[in-house]
């Protein structure tokens, strides 16, 4: 007579628990991978910013945009600090996501 929608539910089997754990681990791994990519972008932008700061503003420089090499001048490359800021912001957001996910997983 037990099974009519009440409060008791069947405990999950070992395979279901393992599947949930693997999904959680995969999700965290993906977030950590995104953090690593964003940290590399921040580092690369810092290198570029430090390299072009002392240069003449009319000097040519090149930038890769979507796999296409684009010619600019040093004066026309002020987007580097803005992009670095966006990458840094994305990294901070991903770190918050990791914290939230870990808290959520601790409750499971």
Q: pLDDT per residue over 59-92, tens digit each?
A: 998 888 889 998 988 887 767 777 778 888 888 8
Q: Into how many domains does the chain fold?
A: 1
- The tens digit of pLDDT for each residue in 28-57 reads 888 889 888 888 888 888 888 888 888 898
- Domain-embedded: residue 48: yes
- Domain-embedded: residue 31: yes
Does this model's pTM top 0.75? My answer is no
Calculate helix-pair angle for 79-106, 14-52, nearest 10 degrees.
160
- Domain-embedded: residue 21: yes
- Domain-embedded: residue 24: yes
- CATH code, 28: 1.10.287.370
- Domain-embedded: residue 70: yes
9 — alpha (psi -120 to 50), left (phi > 0) or beta? Answer: beta
Domain housing 88: 16-106
């Amino acid at each position: 007579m037990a099974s009519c929608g009440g409060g008791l539910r069947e405990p999950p089997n070992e395979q279901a628990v393992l599947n949930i754990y693997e999904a959680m681990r995969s999700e965290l791994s993906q977030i950590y991978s995104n953090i690593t990519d964003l940290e590399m972008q921040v580092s690369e932008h810092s290198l570029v910013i430090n390299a072009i700061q002392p240069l003449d503003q009319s000097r040519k420089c090149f930038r890769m945009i979507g796999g296409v090499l684009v010619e600019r001048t040093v004066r026309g490359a002020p987007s580097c600090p803005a992009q670095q800021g966006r990458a840094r912001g994305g990294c901070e957001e991903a770190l918050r996501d990791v914290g939230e996910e870990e808290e959520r997983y601790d409750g499971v």
